[in-house]
Every structure is written in structure tokens, then in C-alpha cells.
Structure 1
Amino acid sequence: MLGRIIFAWMQGTNLDCNAKRCRFMADILNDFAIFLEIVAPIIPGFFTLIICIAGLCKSIVGVAGGSTRAALSQHQARKNNMADVAVKDGSQETLVNVTALLFSLAMTPLITGNQPLILFLFAAFTFLHLISNYMAVTSVVMETLNQARLSILVKEFLKSTQALSVQEANYQEPVIFKTSMKMSIHLGTSLKNACSDEEDFNTLKKIYGSSKFLTSADLNEDHIHILLCTGCTVDDELQACFQAEVINAAMDCNIPEKNLEKTSLLQKLVQAARESEYLS
């Protein structure tokens, strides 16, 4: 129970925007928990510890799996039929569980006591499970932008001045590891993190003028902080994140300098994104 609470507190905001990656990681963690339960009797001296770790893993899986299921179900409800999608998803899961139960009842008497065979079958079924889930997660096409998809979109646009389609950006989104970034971006950070003193704050205000956001780069700690002002809109947030991604791309040194010097890059990207159905 405590593990569920701590995990929800630490990762709650990431479960929605990174639903695909969190969903797949929950599957991996669930298989790892089952593996611990299988090997626990083999190591009687650490049986209690191993079972406790397995229980902790399963509690985290419950939080991550349940929350990401809601996010993905909402995405699949294309006609505002969330209840219909949820019911069909539950029915499908019930059918799979019943099939698995019948299969296990038939197989259990055949493999009981044969530990090597149990481990072999577990490894084979786990491999099939992870491959199937990986293919399922990567096939999901989200029309919204999270940090990973925005980073992919901006970097490709800066390299080629062409916006990726919704499908292309989704297929490039990593579902196992985080997106590789030179500097970490913090949207909606506090003032004390973005500015070391009043002089820095006044300098940023002078640069941005009446803008509803301020972007500060900490080159020593490799952080980009974005301050949002009261009354900022989605367009302001998009512009701030775009600036942060441009700074990141410039730090990677993989972007042609002539592209970084072009003006109205954001307007061009927005127009290209609209044509690619990212923005409507």
C-alpha cells in the first residue's frame, strides 16, 4: 500500500503524458514480479524478502497499469464512447483470463515439480508477452504532443525544415528508454530554480518583455527552466517549449546553423503541424 502511494506521488504526472512508455514498463515490471515469485521457493533463506519485493512490484503495476489504461482508453474513444470502450476492454480481459485459467489447469499437472521446465516455459511466454505488448504499444498513434514527441518533431524540423506526420513522430517515440536530451526541460518551474538572483530575473524580463513566459538555461546543471506567468495560454506554452527544444537541439550540435538562424521557425512548424493533423 505504501509503495502505491509513493509511486503515485513520484510518477503521477508522467503516467498521462507518457502513457505508452509507462504501460510497457508496467508489463515488464509485472513479468519481473512473477519471476520473483517463481524463484522465491528456490532461495528459502530470502523467501520473505523476495516475496515482499514481488508484492511491491505488483502494487506499482496496479497503479501504472490502471492509470495508463484509462489514458489509452480515452484515446481509443474516438466518438466520445468511453463507457463502451471500457466495457469491451473489460470483457476482452475477462475472456483472456478465462482462457489462461483453463490452459493453466491443463498444464499444471504436467509441469509440477519440474523446475527447469517451469523456468523455460516462463521465459518463452514472457518473451511472447513482451513482444506482443511492445507491438501493441508502438502501434498506438497519439495526436497530442508530449515532451518526447515534441522533441522528435522539433529536431526533425530543424534538420530538414519538414514536419513529421503524426504516425512518423509516434513511431519514433521510444517506449522503453526516455528520449535522449542534452538538457532536461522543466515546464512550470519555480522562480528560485530559474533565477539565481534578482538581476537574472530582471534580465529575463527585459529580454521577453510582455511575454507570458520566461525561459532560462542553466548550462552548468544542464537544465532549461520555463516560468509561466498568470494568464498564459496553450500557444504561450507551445512557444516556450519550442524555444527550449531549440536550445536543446543547438546544444546537441546536430542542427545546421543556417536553420537555427531562420526567423519565424515556430510559425512554420505550427503551420506544418496543422497540415500533419497535430494541431486543429
Structure 2
Amino acid sequence: MEDCAAILATERYGSGESWHYVAKDGAMERRRDSSEAGPRGNLFVGVFKSVFLPQGYPESVSADYLQYQFWDTVQAFASSLSGTLATQASLRGVGVGNQEATVAAATVTWLLRDGTSMLGRIVFAWLKGNKLDSEAKKWRLFADILNDIAMFMEILAPFFPAWFTLIVCMSGIFKSVVGVAGGATRAALTVHQARRDNMADISAKDGSQETLVNLAGLLVSLILIPLVTDNPALTIGLFFLFTTLHLFANYKAVRSVVMETLNEARLAIMLRHFLRDGCVPTPVVANREEPVFLEFRKTLPIKLGVRLQEVVQSPEELRFALMRKDAPILLGFTNGCVRVCLAAHAHTQDEIRAMCQAIWLSDRLSSSRQHQGFWEMVHKSYTLMDSKFDRFYKGVEDAGWDVTRTLLDWDEWRLKWKPKMR
């Protein structure tokens, strides 16, 4: 208490430390705040946090960071051990330890596997690259499931010598998909976790965490390898054990993520809650209900930002679509899919409203199974949005959702229609 009057300044390091500068005998002395709870001066914990956690943790990251990273660490450790078993099987399959095997044959097999992997990476990025932002959780989990399938194929490949090259090439394709989907979705999750524009720091520390886990996996693998060599039953048994742990940890990891940006699944959950109960769920509630497995749709698919000819096929249909003069969107239904054209001047709020309208139409058309009166339902959807969207949008903002940007899967086509056609 005697020093309180002599305090010259106080400084903090995030939420971790608080220090006072006090005047004593004509000099300035730095002292830790005595009111702080918990252990003091724990050098090891401080060094560990600075090496493996982003600067400014926990304020510099999202609230779900620690829980996600815990389960991500568990899954990475299990995957590392499974990968060791798969690598051992692959090496045995290409002839390591077999005096009759040739270097040329092993090299050709490896080159074929790498070549098919490269092609698979290009094709998958072309076909599904635009889906990885909007459905990051689903593709993250899918990538890990596919990775386990690929490793299981590598373990089984030596038991089918005649098909070995084909099996490892298929495994290589699967792993190439894993590389694209896993890396891209990890980047999307890093965007979510970075709360101070510190994506690079979070990515770097994530790499340090993964390296530490792989080092631990390497040490355990040194113990496992002598046990599983020439013991296929133990190899497969341990693989299923590690795979079970890997998939469980991955499921818990993606379930722990609470994203505040709107994608189709989360927006559909919110809209259905609002239309049923009159309230908008918070990000925690909606993320808890969001599906994390790729699934066959029970509702009609929705395509956003399409060309005009995908929405209407005749001048008469265009006149039907333009009956709503002030709407910056056109909706249509072709080939079992609800399609939306977006005006060139539309902004983010218009995109959210268009998606809400398309979700409502998709639900109604899926339940009715009759699509003859589509244009009447389109105009009903406009009426519904006129009466409810403003209140819904305010509820979205009040619930803590980020409406400055979206993860809705819009294509790039934008439309300008002539006023005289209205």
C-alpha cells in the first residue's frame, strides 16, 4: 500500500501480465501487480505460449481457438501414427526387403503414383475449389475421412501384388484431394480465427504445433515399427484404433468451430427458426445445428449468380420474372434447381435476401413436389420477404452475426435489365 502513491505508470501484456512502475529512492522500479491471481513468473508456460500460440492470445484469436486446436492436435497425432503404418506397407509393397524387386520397378510405381496425384490435385481444385470457403467444415471432415481411406488402401495394397500399382495410384489421387481440401479449409478456418489481421502468425504457430505433434508421433512410431513388422494383424488392428481416434477428434474439432459469417446451411437454419419461432438463433446455436457431413440434399439445390438463360427461357417468362420492378434479383426454376440472377448493382444485404428467398422456395418446392405454379410461388416469396426480411435482418445483426461479408456460393454472372421490359 505504501507504494501505491508512488506508482508512475502501469502496463499490461494482453490479459497475461500487469506491471507497475514505482518511484523508489530516486529511481524507477518495475514490479508485477500483486493483485493478479494465479501463478507468477512461470517461465516455462510463458515460453511455451510465445512459441506455440499466436501473439496476444487469447484476445487475438476467436473464442473457439483453443478447443479447436486441442482436437486438431489429437487428430494430427493419430494421423501421424496411421501414416507410419501406411508408409511401412507401401515400402514393403514396392519391394523394400525383397531381393527380387528392382529399383526400376519401384521407381516407376512411385512416379505413377505421384503423377496421378498431381492430376487429381488439379482436377479437384477445378471442380470444387469454389465450395471450400462456403462449406469449410464439411470439406475439412471429408478430407480427413478420405485420408484414412487412402492410408487403408496403402496398407492393403501389398496383399494384392497384381493390383498394387493401381491401388497406390488411387490412394495417391485420394491424398491429392486431401491436400487441396485440407489446406484450403485450414486457410478458411484461419481467416475465421484471426481477429487482429494476424493470419500469418496463426498459420505459423499452427505449423509449429503440427511439427511438435509429428515429432511426438515419430518417437512413438520408433516403438511401433519393430512390433508391427511382419505382423499384418497387429498393423490393421492398430490402424483401426488410430483411425477411430482420428475421426472422432476431427468431428469434435469441426463441431467446436463457431463461425459468425453466413453460408447457405447456417442461413437456412436461421431463416427456418425465424419463420417458425420469430427469433434468430445466435452463432453458437446455428453452428451446433449445422451439418458437418457431405450429404444428399433433401431439398432442391440452389445456384446463385447464374446466367439469365438459366432462369428464363422465353420473353414471357422474363416478363413474369420482372413483375417485381424494384428487386435486384431474378429467380427461376429449371432442371430441378432453384436459380438466382443477381443485378450488377446488388450489395451484400441483397445477396442475403436473395438467398433467403431461394431457401424458402427450395423448401416449398421440395415439400409440394409440384412445380407447375412456380411463378406464383416466386411472387409469394417476394411478399414474404417484404413483410419479414427487415425484421429478420435486424435480428441477424442483433444476434451477433457478421453481415459485412458472406460465404454464400455466388458465381460471377451479374445482370442489367432494361427498364422498358418491366
Equivalent position of 1:194 in the other structure: 311
What SS class does the counterpart of residue 221 from structure 2 fall into? helix
Structure 2, unmatched stretches of 5+, are 1-117, 369-382, 404-422
Residue deviations 1:39-82, cap 9 Å, x none? 00011121111000000011111111111111111111112111
Cα distance, 1:274 vs. partner?
Answer: 1.2
Match of 1:257 in 2: none
* 1:175 corresponding residue in structure 2: 292
Asked if structure 2 preserves the Cα contact closer than 8 Å seen for 1:270 and 1:279, the reply is: no
Q: Structure 1 residues 10 and 177 mapped into 2: Cα distance closer, same or farther (>3 Å)? A: same
Deviation at 1:178, TM superposition (A): 3.5
Instruction: Give the deviation of 1:214 after TM superposition.
Output: 0.8
Residues of 1 paired with 2:184 and 2:367: CA distance? Answer: 37
- Say whether residues 1:271 and 2:394 are aligned partners: yes
Give the whole-Å Cα distance in 2 for the aligned partners of 1:192 and 1:214: 11
| Matching residue's letter, 1:209 | K
Quick check: 83-92 or 221-230, which moved more?
221-230
Paired with 1:182 and 1:111, the residues of 2 have a C-alpha distance of 48
* CA distance in 2: counterparts of 1:162 and 1:201, whole angstroms: 35
Q: Distance in 1 between matches of 2:385 and 2:259?
A: 29
Q: Which amino acid aligns with 1:226?
A: V
Alignment-derived partner of residue 87 in structure 1: 204
2-side partners of 1:202 and 1:212: how far apart? 15
Amino acid aligned to 1:272: G
Structure 1 residue 177, shift from structure 2 partner: 2.7
Find the structure with the greater CA-based Rg: 2
In the other structure, the counterpart of 2:262 is 145
Aligned residues: percent identity? Answer: 43
Tell whether the 8 Å contact from 2:300 to 2:363 is kept in structure 1 after alignment: no
- 2:254 aligned partner, one-letter code: V
SS at the partner of 1:118? Answer: helix
Equivalence for 2:68: none
Structure 1 unmatched ranges of 5 or more: 255-259
For the pair 1:251 / 2:365, whether they are aligned, the reply is yes
Letter in 1 for 2:134: C
1:208 corresponds to which residue?
324
Q: 2:338, 2:131 → 1: CA distance?
A: 18
User: Hey, what does 1:231 align to over in structure 2?
Assistant: 345
Contact 2:154 2:167 in 1 (8 A): yes
Matched with 1:23 is 140
**Would you say the 8 A contact 1:16–1:68 is kept in 2?**
yes
Name the CA shift for 1:123/1:224 in 2 (closer, same or farther; >3 Å).
Answer: same
Distance (Å, rounded) in 2 between the aligned partners of 1:80 and 1:241: 28
Matched, 1:240 2:354: yes
Answer yes or no: is the 8 Å Cα contact 1:166–1:278 preserved in 2: yes
For residues 84-118 of structure 1, give each alpha carbon's deviation from its aligned partner in whole angstroms, at most 9, with x where no partner exists.
10111000000011111111111110121111111
Which one of 207, 217, 220 corresponds to residue 333 of structure 2?
217
Give the secondary-structure state (helix, strand or coil) at the position aligned to 1:264. Answer: helix
Which segment drifts farther, 57-66 or 180-189?
180-189
**1:127 alignment partner in structure 2:** 244
Q: What CA distance in whole angstroms lies between the structure 2 residues aligned with 1:64 and 1:262? A: 36
RMSD between aligned residues: 1.9
Structure 1 ranges of 4+ moved more than 3 A = 178-181, 251-254, 260-263
Greater shift, 139-148 or 270-279, is seen at 270-279
CA distance 1:272–1:179, shift in 2 (3 Å): farther
Question: CA, structure 1 residues 83+29, in 2 after alignment: closer, same or farther (shift >3 Å)?
Answer: same
**Could you tell me the TM-score, scaled by structure 2's length?**
0.62
- In 2: Cα distance, 1:3 partner to 1:222 partner: 29
TM (normalized to structure 1)? 0.92
Name the aligned partner's letter for residue 92 of structure 1.
Answer: Q
SS in 2 for 1:156: helix
1:62 aligns with 2:173: no
Contact 1:30/1:61 (CA < 8 Å) preserved in 2?
Answer: yes
Instruction: Give the number of the structure whose residues are more often helix, by fraction.
Output: 1
CA positional deviation for 1:180: 4.1
**How has the CA–CA distance of structure 1 residues 188 and 13 changed in structure 2, closer, same or farther, with 3 Å as cutoff?**
same
Distance in 2 (alpha carbons) for counterparts of 1:214 and 1:55: 43
Mapped partners of 1:232, 1:51: distance in 2: 49
Work out the CA distance in 1 between the residues paired with 2:287 and 2:270.
Answer: 10
Cα deviation 1:234-269 (Å, max 9, x = unaligned):
111111111111112333559xxxxx9696211121
